[in-house]
A and B are shown apart, each in its own frame.
Chain A
């Protein structure tokens, strides 16, 4: 009961919302890079909000199912196929025993997500199923998936109400440039006024130095007053740190817990997925918002996801007609 990994892809790992509560002891949070795509994948299957999924990067995996389950694929468009026939993303898909899921190639975005209605049989380590590759804990044996791995399911769950309604509009990641809104601080005063102006009014380029730990950007030098070094302090998801070379680095899921470079700003939660889906050479601009605006945007996003949940949680026409047939049939047996 599960699936075999025929091809591991480039970087396919088990992730949920991450290992919180242990940062004071030096554990990175890990967790998904694109929280929105992750949440949509789970909500399409009525999974708990924090159920573990597979996250893959730039090149998707190939999986052979050894039992029935329902999956949903979200994130960048990697052109998923089942038994070599194209299938829809952002849609609940019934997988039969023996079906092979693979991806024709990454068309937009850079990360994809697969959620499973039968839940991945991955042990919880310190409150999370997320893979922390650096420490070799969590996820599947603390590492990325390789060819030949086998992951089981925890439960048999092959029925979902309103199955045919479970399809949503795709999030579009077909962009070359993106504006990331930020809340300034905590160490904006380390930089000169001119430095802050540069940061907010320049175009930066995503370099190839972009992994789950962070994204290095290339562009105009951000001037600081005396030094960009600070006494090491805690790092938040989306922190934009600027070392003495003056170029911003946005810290992401696998970030270290603490660091000694000044952080000019923090990317707001709802915009981190936009960066997570960027590719090398994409252009990035920063725009300052207040913390109140950022928190309102986050609450709006939560409300939006709840609306999506309502949207899929109702019968569609086909289902109603099926029931009609079922009723007629059941009379024959009475």
Chain B
């Protein structure tokens, strides 16, 4: 068992460090703890920021003191935090690969010494764990990109990458939640809005969930896009292990 350390981050936040490495097991412990804290409605907790190997908890010291919350967390951490993320969901994200949707697909294939079809097959062939969200609203740090398609960032970043772009940056892959500058190599685009401030749930997924990229042809992409714009599209979600 990794050593868990609780420390202060000022008078209104507490940091729980689960170790100094990035691994799915550690991340699953954090996800499980976040779910327990949410389920128990612990008084005074105002916000939580789960990250790769830590959890920052913001709290209101008018309601609970550092010592009080720390004791509460120590008690929770003593419970068996299982690495089984049984409540995790898998989100199917349709992606139209290549062409104008993924201008760097050929680059990625050339770099890997593979065909574009092989790159698509590898990229869409597994479920990616969302380790954390940060940087931009809904920007997911995904783990587990196949080494064969690791691709360096563009030497000259683009000024504007449209929302929905799916890219690879080094050993990471992800979806741009909103228009943003960036240096990732783009291999496709999804019509699904992973972030929509007007939606009841603005961000589709949470840390601990999984993303599965599903290749779609352009016609299907356009059809889904139409449904998304009309607000009728429902993202396909599986329960992990089902």
1/0 contact trace for A283-324 toward B, CB 8 Å? 000000001101101110010000000000000000000000
User: Do residues A269 and B132 form an inter-chain contact, with CB atoms below 8 A?
Assistant: no
CB distance from B142 to the nearest CB of A (A): 14
- Apart from A239-B9, A257-B134, 14 more pairs, CB < 8 Å: A22-B47, A24-B47, A25-B206, A26-B177, A26-B203, A135-B137, A231-B20, A231-B51, A231-B52, A232-B51, A233-B56, A239-B10, A291-B10, A294-B11
User: Do residues A23 and B47 form an inter-chain contact, with CB atoms below 8 A?
Assistant: yes
Contact partner, B46, options A21, A125, A137, A294, Cβ 8 Å: A21
User: Do residues B203 and A25 form an inter-chain contact, with CB atoms below 8 A?
Assistant: yes
Residues of B within 8 A of A137 (CB): 197
B13's nearest neighbour on chain A, judged by CB, is A236
User: Do residues B49 and A234 form an inter-chain contact, with CB atoms below 8 A?
Assistant: yes
Give bound CA distance, A258 to B8, whole Å.
16
Kindly state whether residue A10 has any CB partner on chain B within 8 Å.
no
Give bound CA distance, A185 to B202, whole Å.
33
Give bound CA distance, A292 to B133, whole Å.
31
Give bound CA distance, A60 to B57, whole Å.
35
User: Do residues A263 and B61 form an inter-chain contact, with CB atoms below 8 A?
Assistant: no
CB distance from B36 to the nearest CB of A (A): 15
Kindly state whether residue A150 has any CB partner on chain B within 8 Å.
no
Residues of A within 8 A of B66 (CB): 291-292, 295
Residues of A within 8 A of B7 (CB): 185-186
Q: Give me 17 A-to-B residue pairs in the complex whose CB atoms sit less than 8 angstroms apart, sorted by A's number.
A: A21-B47, A25-B133, A26-B136, A27-B137, A125-B197, A231-B52, A232-B134, A234-B54, A234-B55, A258-B135, A263-B9, A266-B9, A267-B10, A269-B11, A291-B11, A292-B66, A297-B11
Kindly state whether residue A20 has any CB partner on chain B within 8 Å.
yes
User: Do residues B10 and A237 form an inter-chain contact, with CB atoms below 8 A?
Assistant: yes
User: Do residues B8 and A266 form an inter-chain contact, with CB atoms below 8 A?
Assistant: yes
User: Do residues A183 and B11 form an inter-chain contact, with CB atoms below 8 A?
Assistant: yes
Instruction: Give the residues from 245 to 279 in chain A that come closer than 8 angstroms, CB to CB, to chain B.
Output: 256-258, 263, 266-269
Closest 4 CB pairs of A and B: A234-B56, A266-B10, A234-B49, A294-B11
B-to-A contact residues, CB < 8 Å:
7-13, 15, 17, 20-22, 34, 46-56, 58, 61-62, 65-67, 132-139, 177-178, 197, 202-203, 206-207
Chain A CB within 10 Å, residue with most, of B20, B22, B52, B67:
B52
B54's nearest neighbour on chain A, judged by CB, is A233
Kindly state whether residue A126 has any CB partner on chain B within 8 Å.
yes
Residues of B within 8 A of A24 (CB): 34, 47-50, 133, 206-207
1/0 contact trace for A8-40 toward B, CB 8 Å? 000000000000111111110100000000000
User: Do residues A232 and B52 form an inter-chain contact, with CB atoms below 8 A?
Assistant: yes
Kindly state whether residue A222 has any CB partner on chain B within 8 Å.
no
Contact partner, B10, options A25, A232, A268, Cβ 8 Å: A268
A25-B138 contact, Cβ under 8 Å, with A231-B53, A233-B56, A239-B10: yes
User: Do residues B47 and A269 form an inter-chain contact, with CB atoms below 8 A?
Assistant: no
Residues of A within 8 A of B8 (CB): 183-186, 266, 291
Kindly state whether residue A89 has any CB partner on chain B within 8 Å.
no
Chain B CB within 10 Å, residue with most, of A27, A29, A263:
A27
User: Do residues A26 and B139 form an inter-chain contact, with CB atoms below 8 A?
Assistant: yes
Give bound CA distance, A294 to B34, whole Å.
26
User: Do residues A266 and B13 form an inter-chain contact, with CB atoms below 8 A?
Assistant: yes
A231-B46 contact, Cβ under 8 Å, with A266-B13, A291-B8: no
Kindly state whether residue A100 has any CB partner on chain B within 8 Å.
no
Chain A CB within 10 Å, residue with most, of B11, B22, B54, B61:
B11
Give bound CA distance, A232 to B48, whole Å.
15
A186-B9 contact, Cβ under 8 Å, with A26-B203, A232-B52, A258-B135: yes
Residues of A within 8 A of B206 (CB): 24-25
User: Do residues A186 and B47 form an inter-chain contact, with CB atoms below 8 A?
Assistant: no
User: Do residues A26 and B11 form an inter-chain contact, with CB atoms below 8 A?
Assistant: no
Residues of B within 8 A of A256 (CB): 134-135
Give bound CA distance, A182 to B203, whole Å.
34
CB distance from B143 to the nearest CB of A (A): 13
Give bound CA distance, A8 to B56, whole Å.
37
Residues of A within 8 A of B21 (CB): 231
Kindly state whether residue A238 has any CB partner on chain B within 8 Å.
yes
Residues of B within 8 A of A266 (CB): 8-11, 13
Give bound CA distance, A258 to B134, whole Å.
6
Give bound CA distance, A233 to B27, whole Å.
12
User: Do residues A20 and B58 form an inter-chain contact, with CB atoms below 8 A?
Assistant: yes
A135-B178 contact, Cβ under 8 Å, with A26-B134, A299-B62: yes
CB distance from A137 to the nearest CB of B (A): 5
Kindly state whether residue A44 has any CB partner on chain B within 8 Å.
no
Kindly state whether residue A145 has any CB partner on chain B within 8 Å.
no
CB distance from B61 to the nearest CB of A (A): 4
Give bound CA distance, A256 to B139, whole Å.
12
A182's nearest neighbour on chain B, judged by CB, is B10
